Amino acid sequence: MPSARALLDRVHDVVERARTVTDHPVLTHLARAGLVAYGAMHLLIGYLAVRMAWRLRGADADQTGALQLVADGPGGRVLLWAIGLGMLSLAVWQAGEVLLWWRGLLDRAHRLRTAVVCTKCLAKAAVYGVLGVTALLFAVGLEYEADERLQELTDETLLIPGGAALVVAVAFGVIAVGVYTLVRGFTGGFMRDIDLPAAPDRWEPLIEGMGRVGYVAKGVAFGLVGVLLWRAAASSDVTTATGLDGAMTAIAGVRAGPWLLTAIAIGFAAFGVYALARARYPDRDPSS
């Protein structure tokens, strides 16, 4: 087995070098800028949701709506480039955590836990990466509506054999993400993303409170997105597959909808504040 050992050592050396790159101070600062952008985006979504709740029309209450708001403001194009590059740096920084855990995949006793941790890291990195690419598309003038694109993808998927089952599977996946987000909010598990030793003790209760409210609001919204997507598959009516903005619209349409949507908007704004705190005291390890 010497050759296998030598190969493993070589892989380890490559991983360690890559890890060094993802730990570079420049990338860390860029990732923190990405977290600031992520927080600001949630503050804007909260603002747009409040406008929707009280029938003050504006951009869609979702990520693309927030980016459109930035694009329409002073220096919007420059800000979009900064947001896009910051979010992509954040994606690389977050994905780099997998490089710390990969050896656990070789250990049968820790393989499952390691796989869960790595999946969390890569899922977060994917979200940040998609938002970064979207911001860059807006920066070069290639705007698009996320809800319309989701409807197109759903419609195209329903036309293929087994497409309805695939859409249902995705819908349940989104609902699972919503439930997981709710659980993180109720349990406070999100505080593992904060470097608690670096954060002043007096700020920890505020950060935790903002995070709890924010994660619960996001969990409700994402769960509703999954339900609407499931309805689209069950009824073959793709108009219900409208993403986050569609979920906000559905909330606004029920009795006491304006107040409920205002509460969700406050939750998204609270998450934005939590993300800003995470930018100040970041910890990318979800299992520390």
Domain edges within the chain: 17-280
Nearest to 272 by CA among 50, 68, 40: 40
* Cα–Cα distance for residue pair 211/207, rounded to 1 Å: 6
Structure tokens belonging to residue 195: 């470097």
Helix, strand, coil shares of the chain as percentages rounded to 5?
80, 0, 20
**What's the residue count for the chain?**
288
* Cα–Cα distance for residue pair 186/173, rounded to 1 Å: 20
pLDDT of residue 16: 64
pLDDT of residue 260: 92
pLDDT of residue 269: 96
Give pLDDT tens digits along the chain (288 positions).
456 666 656 666 666 666 666 677 888 888 899 999 999 999 999 999 998 888 877 667 788 888 888 888 888 889 999 999 999 999 988 888 777 766 656 667 667 777 777 788 888 899 899 899 989 988 888 766 666 777 777 878 878 888 888 888 888 998 999 999 999 999 998 998 898 888 898 999 999 999 999 999 999 998 998 888 888 888 777 777 777 888 888 888 888 888 999 999 999 999 999 999 999 998 865 554
Structure tokens belonging to residue 265: 């908007």
Classify 282 as helix, strand or coil: strand
Handedness of CA 103, 108, 114, 118 (dihedral sign): positive
Interacting residues of 82 by C-beta distance below 8 A, sequence separation 6+ = 33, 37
| pTM to 2 decimal places | 0.85
pLDDT of residue 1: 45
* Cα–Cα distance for residue pair 232/180, rounded to 1 Å: 23
pLDDT of residue 13: 66
pLDDT of residue 249: 84
**Residue 281 identity (one-letter amino acid):** Y
pLDDT of residue 161: 81
